[in-house]
């Protein structure tokens, strides 16, 4: 990315045209970065036990409390929980400090919830956690299979690259395998709406199909692999007839056959997989089932081919490189890697320490929190992750942390829910302030340069840890004055005694010894970077030699299994969870950017029309999901993109944004036995309408603090540019709340004006503080809301003077007379609403390009193009044959 600075302030960002990964493109969250990391909402000062303190006091408290815990309860009573959103340099220092010097093995990361199954599978199959492919492979493949990946929303830049490649090569085919019809299906030639969790069965049967139809690459298998016969036998232990597989996977047999035929007959196949595969109680095996098919066909180690696990967080890969997972030691060495403990001890010079390096793996995320619950781990430092939202059984995680004797949190945002349970809080620098490196899915190391001074008292994560290390007496081993020194050490460790059999592909010794200037100027480089490959390596295993002791890749037998969270009479529906286009995880940053809140403003549940009917639910009403760990309240979206019997709810909302909308309270802490990754995609829940007596929208000026009262059964907070919008739902006993008295009693200024429409039970009121709009209230369902941008602008202080009496009357209506309602925002980058798009279509703009030319929608990040296409389809059918609409929706599943 490139940043535009004006008088030391970030005023705009753009894609870096020179960067090989994005070639100048940005997604909408990227292009809103300058809005999400400004001063508003940042964590600025350290706190100990709720009191603001100096940095010296905070660091002293961290060091002394960690030391006390360790000396009293042993090294294993201390833990670190890290994140793929740290820079590699931060990660390296954390790993070294906790494993090397504090001597605890319990260092795990949120990558456990994300990449752990993919990592475990690569290690089993290739002998190393090494992604064989590069992004270019997507462009030169003839067949791209997207499994459990909603690329259009979650990797929009890569999606646009793939789309452009498909336009250049009309023979390229794309297959999407996902239980939901997502926006990614827009460019699919074939869609398999698979039954949740049945992927291993599908790929096992593909392996068998390849064998039966004589489309395995025997030469490749013989020379470069082992285990084919066993893998095939396991696959064929189940009935592999197309009918049987199709029935179990819930797909059409003919389409399944088409997929098998395409895959088997094509050499240049990339299978790109993500959380629909990883977040499973058998995720490692699912990845293996995919890898087996690639190895059997020799579809690997050549351009346009390979099993490609795509990462999500900016630096998930960097964390894997330093060895930030609990089962790893450092730099792609595990504890059981022969000689590794001794090697790392010598490199870090920890021989003389007590305790020395741990002698075996530590606890993986879910287990780690169980150990906190049992009181075995008594101190945990949480960095750049929000586990009270993102871990399964999240309500319990929050209770566990609240009781843990020492919780240290470093974060950069003040609204991170984990701060609620922290004893010591430290403000970290954010993007554009931080300086270091990150690695992406294709092993490409990029510099992220610090451009702005730290905000408030924020400090770099590595610097915070270095200061703590010094207080613990380890100053000599943590002398870093600049991230380039950390990177140098990391690069040297990667190449340290790394040669011969069982070599470690992660070797960036070619980047060791960079001067600070050279580090600053470092161009994006794909590892390995060694004396043999000084400019990096785009593709791995081209010579068919793998990182296993015998140099062969392993096919392994896979026994498919179903989701472990089982459905029951009480919890009859399968809950799928995941992401929405414009939000990032727990919303600490994206939840504050107005334009990112417009695409999906409230927590929601997607429900198939048949289920909606069964459970008595209509579109847009409030509903409640219940699972073993708690409940979730949100707005229903009745959609045909869901399979009947399955629901989808976003992972994003939490206590900072809504009353009961944390989806992980519904997900059980069941994990894959090999990778330890939770089964986040397959919850079991019940569904019912949420009974409310009223719904209301309250908008309060930014500086007015408001919290919903106890009579709200539902609330969601939605940031506007100059105000906060609260969407509220009231308990049945509150049916005849006297709103005007309520407003007078509960809002900072009383009612200035109001209007009532008794026939429809609607009321509008607003309060002015002198000339300034202070609050605005509308009682009635949110469908009746006007477009809010005009009203939002009225809350801006600058408008004080213009809020003359005649404008005040318009404020009550919520819109300047004649101001068009833009409708739901479709294009977030250019803030183009549905109504404008519909109007343009009706006016004759009949393609995505024509709409882009007129309204600019879809021309920046492109991630709304699938929605534009769907709107075009909808409007054009409506224009030609009004009755066709329902039919079209019903056909949507089938026609893809
Ligand atoms: N907008 C946005 N983008 C992001 C993120 C974000 O928070 N917001 N987060 C980033 C991160 S950290 C990650 S890890 C990536 C994740 O990127 P993705 O993996 O694409 O994201 P998800 O939405 O979690 O899940 C992907 C799909 O898996 C499908 N799925 C569920 N169960 C199954 C199943 O049994 N089989 C199959 N085949 N599919 C299934 C879901 O329906 C969903 O469409 O996104 C990254 N990009
Ligand atoms: N049900 C369900 N649960 C899921 C998933 C799912 O699909 N379904 N997906 C899982 C996946 S793939 C992931 S990756 C996780 C993500 O889950 P989390 O990691 O918990 O989510 P984030 O909101 O990204 O949390 C990052 C935190 O770090 C802070 N931060 C950002 N940058 C920095 C920095 O440089 N330094 C410091 N110290 N702090 C920083 C942010 O303000 C934020 O509070 O969620 C997982 N949980
Ligand atoms: Mo992730």
* 394 and 516 inside one domain: yes
Q: What is the CA radius of gyration of the chain?
A: 28
- Please name the residue whose Cα sits nearest to atom 28 of ligand 2: 384
Measured from the Cα of 389, ligand 2's closest atom is 20
Measured from the Cα of 87, ligand 2's closest atom is 35
- Please name the residue whose Cα sits nearest to atom 29 of ligand 2: 384
Measured from the Cα of 667, ligand 2's closest atom is 1
Query: Per-residue pLDDT averaged across 115-132, rounded?
Result: 97
Lowest average pLDDT, out of 89-103, 569-583, 723-737, goes to 723-737
Pocket lining for ligand 2, CB < 6 angstroms: 83, 85, 110, 113-114, 275, 279, 312-313, 383-387, 389-390, 410-413, 416, 428, 430, 434, 461, 577-578, 585-586, 588-589, 651, 663-664, 667, 680
Q: In whole angstroms, give the CA distance from residue 696 to residue 711.
A: 12
Angle at 286 between CA 281 and CA 288, to 5 degrees: 130
CA distance readout (Å), 805 to 209, 531, 723, 741, 752: 76, 75, 21, 23, 11
Give 895's pLDDT tier (boundaries 50, 70, 90). very low
Q: In whole angstroms, give the CA distance from residue 268 to residue 318.
A: 28
- Predicted local confidence at residue 822, as pLDDT: 67
- Predicted local confidence at residue 711, as pLDDT: 83
In a domain, 783, yes or no: yes
Q: In whole angstroms, give the CA distance from residue 296 to residue 305.
A: 13
* 754 and 860 inside one domain: no
Q: Residue 429 pLDDT more than 80?
A: yes
- Dist. CA 664 → ligand 3 center (Å): 14
* 46 and 26 inside one domain: no
CATH number for position 880:
1.10.10.1100
Between 786 and 81, whose confidence is greater?
81
- Predicted local confidence at residue 12, as pLDDT: 84
Give 896's pLDDT tier (boundaries 50, 70, 90). very low
- H-run or E-run covering 888: helix 884-895
Pocket lining for ligand 1, CB < 6 angstroms: 114, 147-150, 153-154, 177-180, 182, 194, 196-197, 199, 274-276, 312-313, 576, 578-579, 581, 583-585, 681
If one residue of 38, 42, 85 were mutated to test the ligand 2 pocket, choosing by the most ligand atoms within 8 A of its CB, it would be: 85
Query: Per-residue pLDDT averaged across 600-619, rounded?
Result: 96
**Which of these, 356, 307, 289, lies nearest to 141 by C-alpha position?**
307
* 64 and 89 inside one domain: yes
* 657 and 714 inside one domain: no
In a domain, 833, yes or no: yes
CB-based contact 543:532 (threshold 8 Å):
no
Strands (E), 579-711: 604-607, 622-627, 630-638, 646-650, 683-689, 694-701
* 59 and 160 inside one domain: no
DSSP class of 845: -
CATH number for position 493:
3.40.50.740
Lowest average pLDDT, out of 42-56, 448-462, 667-681, 863-877, goes to 863-877
Q: In whole angstroms, give the CA distance from residue 463 to residue 700.
A: 39
pLDDT digits (tens, 9 = 90+) for 477-511: 999 999 999 999 999 999 999 987 668 999 999 99
- Predicted local confidence at residue 886, as pLDDT: 47
- Predicted local confidence at residue 884, as pLDDT: 46
Q: In whole angstroms, give the CA distance from residue 732 to residue 681.
A: 33
In a domain, 796, yes or no: yes
- Dist. CA 642 → ligand 1 center (Å): 15
Give 889's pLDDT tier (boundaries 50, 70, 90). very low
What's the token pair of residue 629?
């760990």
- Please name the residue whose Cα sits nearest to atom 14 of ligand 1: 312
Query: Per-residue pLDDT averaged across 621-630, rounded?
Result: 95
- Please name the residue whose Cα sits nearest to atom 6 of ligand 1: 584
Give 798's pLDDT tier (boundaries 50, 70, 90). low
Give 757's pLDDT tier (boundaries 50, 70, 90). confident
* 299 and 347 inside one domain: no
CB-based contact 442:63 (threshold 8 Å):
no
* 140 and 288 inside one domain: yes
* 218 and 344 inside one domain: no
Q: In whole angstroms, give the CA distance from residue 674 to residue 693.
A: 49
**Which of these, 583, 313, 450, lies nearest to 3 by C-alpha position?**
450
CB proximity list for 342: less than 8 A, separation 6 or greater = none
Lowest average pLDDT, out of 3-17, 177-191, 601-615, goes to 3-17
Measured from the Cα of 114, ligand 1's closest atom is 14
Measured from the Cα of 426, ligand 2's closest atom is 38
Percentage of residues of the chain with pLDDT beyond 70: 96
- Please name the residue whose Cα sits nearest to atom 12 of ligand 2: 114
Looking at every residue in the chain, the average pLDDT score rounds to 92
pLDDT digits (tens, 9 = 90+) for 371-384: 999 999 999 999 99
Give 618's pLDDT tier (boundaries 50, 70, 90). very high
Number of CB atoms found within 10 A of residue 527's CB: 24
- Predicted local confidence at residue 589, as pLDDT: 86
DSSP 721-762: SSEEEEEEEE-GGGTT--HHHHHHHHSSS---EEEEEGGGTE
Alpha carbon 649 to chain centroid, angstroms: 14
- Dist. CA 113 → ligand 1 center (Å): 12
Of 309, 327, 358, the one marking the end of a domain is 309
Of 242, 276, 309, the one marking the end of a domain is 309
Give 809's pLDDT tier (boundaries 50, 70, 90). confident
CB-based contact 710:703 (threshold 8 Å):
no
Tell me which residue range forms the domain holding 27. 1-31
The total number of structural domains that make up the chain: 6
Beta bridge partners of residue 2, listed in sequence order: 14
- Please name the residue whose Cα sits nearest to atom 32 of ligand 1: 276
- Predicted local confidence at residue 801, as pLDDT: 58
CB-based contact 300:306 (threshold 8 Å):
yes
3-state per-residue secondary structure call for 3-46: EEEECCEEEEEECCCCCCCCCCCCCHHHHCHHHHCCCCCECCCC
In a domain, 562, yes or no: no
- Predicted local confidence at residue 885, as pLDDT: 45
Measured from the Cα of 313, ligand 1's closest atom is 12
- Dist. CA 176 → ligand 1 center (Å): 13
CB-based contact 123:114 (threshold 8 Å):
no
- Dist. CA 741 → ligand 3 center (Å): 47
DSSP 309-348: EPP-STTHHHHHHHT-STTEEETTEETTSTTHHHHHHHHH
Q: Identify which ligand lies nearest to the alpha carbon of 861.
A: 1
CA distance readout (Å), 530 to 132, 495, 503, 514, 521: 17, 8, 13, 13, 18
In a domain, 568, yes or no: no
- Dist. CA 306 → ligand 1 center (Å): 20
- Predicted local confidence at residue 803, as pLDDT: 66
Between 867 and 809, whose confidence is greater?
867
If one residue of 30, 180, 573, 579 were mutated to test the ligand 1 pocket, choosing by the most ligand atoms within 8 A of its CB, it would be: 579
Q: Identify which ligand lies nearest to the alpha carbon of 678.
A: 2
Alpha carbon 215 to chain centroid, angstroms: 37
Number of CB atoms found within 10 A of residue 366's CB: 20
- Predicted local confidence at residue 540, as pLDDT: 96
* 741 and 593 inside one domain: no
Measured from the Cα of 577, ligand 2's closest atom is 8
Q: Residue 820 pLDDT more than 70?
A: no
If one residue of 384, 468, 652 were mutated to test the ligand 2 pocket, choosing by the most ligand atoms within 8 A of its CB, it would be: 384
Measured from the Cα of 150, ligand 1's closest atom is 20
CATH number for position 617:
2.40.40.20
Give 888's pLDDT tier (boundaries 50, 70, 90). very low
Query: Per-residue pLDDT averaged across 108-115, rounded?
Result: 97
Measured from the Cα of 197, ligand 1's closest atom is 35
- Please name the residue whose Cα sits nearest to atom 2 of ligand 1: 154
Query: Per-residue pLDDT averaged across 22-36, rounded?
Result: 83
In a domain, 67, yes or no: yes
Number of CB atoms found within 10 A of residue 523's CB: 12
pLDDT digits (tens, 9 = 90+) for 645-665: 999 999 999 999 999 999 999
In a domain, 729, yes or no: yes
pTM: 0.93
Number of CB atoms found within 10 A of residue 835's CB: 15
In a domain, 555, yes or no: no
Q: In whole angstroms, give the CA distance from residue 82 to residue 79.
A: 10
CATH number for position 281:
3.40.228.10
* 156 and 256 inside one domain: yes
Query: Per-residue pLDDT averaged across 538-548, rounded?
Result: 95
Of 641, 672, 689, the one marking the end of a domain is 689
* 863 and 831 inside one domain: yes
């Amino acid at each position: 990315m490139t940043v535009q600075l004006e008088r030391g302030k970030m005023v705009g960002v753009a894609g870096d045209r020179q960067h090989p990964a994005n070639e100048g493109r940005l997604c909408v969250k990227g292009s809103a970065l300058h809005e999400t990391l400004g001063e508003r909402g940042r964590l600025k000062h350290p706190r100990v036990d709720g009191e603001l303190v100096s940095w010296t006091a905070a660091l002293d408290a961290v060091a002394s409390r960690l030391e006390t815990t360790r000396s009293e309860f042993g090294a294993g009573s201390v833990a670190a929980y890290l994140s793929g959103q740290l820079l590699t340099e931060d990660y390296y220092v954390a790993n070294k400090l906790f494993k090397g010097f504090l001597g605890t093995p319990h260092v795990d990361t949120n990558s456990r919830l994300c990449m752990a199954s993919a990592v475990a599978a690569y290690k089993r199959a290739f002998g190393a956690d090494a992604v064989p492919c590069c992004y270019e492979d997507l462009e030169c493949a003839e067949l791209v299979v997207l499994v459990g990946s909603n690329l259009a929303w979650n990797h929009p830049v890569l999606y646009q690259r793939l789309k452009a490649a498909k336009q250049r090569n009309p023979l390229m085919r794309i297959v999407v395998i996902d239980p939901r019809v997502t926006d990614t299906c827009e460019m699919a030639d074939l869609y398999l709406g698979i039954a949740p969790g049945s992927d291993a069965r599908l790929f096992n049967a593909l392996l068998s199909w390849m064998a039966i139809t004589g489309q395995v690459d025997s030469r490749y298998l013989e020379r470069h692999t082992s285990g084919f016969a066993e893998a095939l036998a396991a696959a064929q232990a189940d009935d592999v007839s197309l009918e049987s597989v199709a029935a179990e996977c819930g797909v059409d047999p003919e389409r399944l056959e088409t997929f098998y035929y395409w895959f088997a007959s094509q050499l240049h196949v990339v299978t790109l997989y993500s959380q629909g595969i990883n977040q499973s109680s058998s995720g490692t095996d699912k990845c293996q089932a995919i890898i087996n098919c690639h190895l059997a066909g020799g579809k690997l180690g050549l351009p346009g081919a390979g099993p490609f696990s795509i990462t999500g967080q900016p630096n998930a890969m960097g964390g894997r490189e330093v060895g930030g997972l609990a089962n790893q030691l450092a730099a792609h060495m595990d504890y059981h890697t022969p000689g590794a403990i001794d090697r790392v001890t010598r490199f870090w010079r920890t021989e003389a320490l007590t305790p020395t390096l741990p002698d075996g793996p530590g606890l993986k995320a879910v287990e780690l929190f169980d150990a906190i619950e049992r009181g075995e781990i008594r101190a945990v430092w949480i960095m750049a992750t929000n586990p009270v939202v993102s871990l399964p059984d999240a309500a319990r995680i929050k209770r566990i942390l609240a009781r843990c004797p020492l919780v240290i949190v470093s974060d950069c945002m003040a609204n991170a829910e984990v701060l609620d349970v922290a004893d010591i809080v430290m403000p970290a620098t954010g993007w554009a302030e931080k300086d270091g490196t990150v690695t992406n899915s294709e092993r490409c190391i990029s510099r992220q340069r610090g451009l702005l001074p730290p905000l408030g008292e924020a400090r770099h994560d590595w610097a915070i840890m270095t200061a703590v290390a010094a207080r613990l007496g380890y100053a000599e081993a943590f002398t870093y004055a600049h991230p380039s020194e950390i990177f140098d050490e990391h690069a040297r460790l990667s190449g340290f005694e790394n040669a011969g059999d069982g070599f470690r592909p992660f070797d960036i010794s070619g980047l060791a010894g960079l001067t600070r200037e050279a580090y600053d100027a470092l161009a994006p480089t794909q590892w390995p970077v060694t004396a043999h490959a000084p400019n990096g390596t785009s593709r791995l295993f081209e010579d068919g030699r793998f990182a296993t002791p015998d140099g062969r890749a392993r096919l392994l037998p896979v026994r498919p299994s179903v989701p472990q969270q089982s459905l029951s009479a009480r919890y009859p529906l399968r809950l799928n969870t995941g992401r929405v286009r414009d939000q990032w995880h727990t919303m600490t940053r994206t939840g504050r950017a107005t334009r990112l809140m417009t695409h999906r403003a409230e927590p929601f549940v997607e429900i198939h029309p048949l289920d909606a009917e069964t459970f008595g639910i209509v579109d847009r009403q409030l509903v409640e999901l219940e699972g073993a760990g708690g409940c979730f309240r949100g707005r229903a979206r009745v959609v045909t993109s869901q399979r009947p019997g399955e629901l989808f709810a976003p992972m994003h909302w939490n206590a900072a944004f809504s009353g009961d909308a944390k989806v992980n309270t519904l997900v059980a802490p069941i994990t894959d036995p090999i990778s330890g990754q939770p089964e986040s995609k397959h919850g079991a829940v019940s569904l019912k309408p949420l009974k409310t007596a009223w719904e209301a929208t309250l908008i309060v000026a930014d500086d007015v603090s408001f919290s919903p009262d106890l009579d709200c059964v539902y609330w969601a907070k939605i940031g506007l540019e100059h105000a906060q919008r609260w969407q509220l739902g009231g308990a049945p006993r509150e049916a005849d709340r006297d709103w005007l008295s309520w407003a007078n009693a509960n809002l900072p200024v009383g009612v200035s004006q109001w209007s009532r429409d008794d026939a429809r039970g609607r009321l509008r009121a607003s309060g002015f503080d002198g000339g300034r709009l202070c609050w605005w209230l509308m009682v009635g369902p949110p469908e009746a809301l006007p477009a809010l941008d005009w009203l939002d602008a009225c809350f801006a202080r600058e408008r004080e003077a213009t809020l003359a009496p005649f404008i005040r009357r318009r404020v009550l209506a919520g819109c300047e007379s004649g101001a068009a309602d833009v409708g739901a925002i479709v294009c977030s980058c250019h803030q183009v609403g549905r109504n404008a798009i519909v109007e343009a279509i009706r006016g004759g703009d009949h393609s995505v390009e024509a709409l882009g030319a007129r309204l600019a929608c879809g021309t920046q990040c492109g991630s709304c193009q699938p929605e534009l296409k769907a709107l075009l389809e909808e409007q054009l059918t409506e224009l030609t044959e009004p009755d066709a609409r329902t039919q079209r929706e019903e056909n949507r599943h089938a026609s893809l």
